[in-house]
Amino acid sequence: MGEDDQLVYENHNLIYAYGSLERYKRVLASMAFHEAPISVPTPHCHNYHPQFDQAEKDILSHWEWRRYDLKTQDLE
């Protein structure tokens, strides 16, 4: 990945890709992901289930994560 490449997964099950978009599309397609229109129901809610806390920690600790501040265009 290049220095400007970045994937952002967020809690609406959306992936935002920055950088090598064609490469991302090929890799994600090989893993059975596909592009689709964005549709987040309005209104909607987010639920919290404490029984899944450990599973979430296990999943998130599987990879080495790097955190970056959001860019202005990310807030639009």
pLDDT at 55: 93
9 found inside a domain: yes
Q: How many structural domains is the chain composed of?
A: 1
Query: How much is the pLDDT for 53?
Result: 94
What is the model's pLDDT at position 57? 92
Question: Could you list the residue range(s) of the whole structural domain that residue 2 is in?
Answer: 1-39
What's the whole-model pTM score?
0.49
In a domain, 2, yes or no: yes
* Neighbour count for residue 37 (Cβ, 10 Å): 4
pLDDT at 17 over 70: yes
Residue type for position 18? Y
- Give me the count of residues in the chain: 76
In a domain, 18, yes or no: yes
**Could you tell me if 18 and 4 are in contact, meaning their C-beta atoms sit under 8 angstroms apart?**
yes
Residue bearing the bigger pLDDT, 21 or 68: 21
Q: Is residue 6 part of a domain?
A: yes
> Is 47 among the domain residues?
no
